[in-house]
Structures are given as structure tokens and as C-alpha cells.
Amino acid sequence: CLNGLTCFFENIEVDEDTNLVLNYDEANYGLDCIGFANSSINTLPSNLFNKYRGVNSVYASKIGLTKLPSDTFQNASHMLGKLSI
């Protein structure tokens, strides 16, 4: 997340029964990277790559990720070659 426009979410808590959905108008801002840090999020937002198709990088650090549903990267084929977990 060093180059381009970045949006970071820090210090948020989402319980495991809540589906985190991002509502940010990417079309107007051209996000390149979305980051999550120092939070309690058991799974990445369900609409991450459906709504933010221009995102080339996702950063996650100390978020307590416990699930990664099979459709998480459904619309992120442009990123899969660069995936580093």
C-alpha cells in the first residue's frame, strides 16, 4: 500500500455474526489499496472485490482473521498472481 490512493481501517471490532460491508465510492476516488490493521475482523468484507475492482493491493495486519470464504477473491483475478499470505 505504498503507491496510489489507500484507504485504511484501524481499530475496528466486528463480531463474528456481523457481515462487514464497505460502503466507499471507489469510482470517485480510484482506490489502489485497502488496508486493515489492529482490529478484530474474523473475515474480510464480503463485497471487497465486487465493489472495489480497481484495488491492486490489500494489506492486513493483526486483524484476527479466522475465515476466508471461497468467494472472497471471486472478482480479484488480476491480483491472484501476486497473492502473498
pTM of the model: 0.74
* Beta strands 57-61 and 13-14, pairing class: unpaired
- Render pLDDT for 12-70 as a digit per residue (tens, 0 to 9): 898 888 878 777 665 656 778 888 999 998 888 877 777 777 787 888 899 998 888 77
| Cβ neighbours for 67, distance < 8 A, ≥ 6 positions apart | 42, 43
pLDDT category of residue 2 using cuts at 50, 70 and 90: low
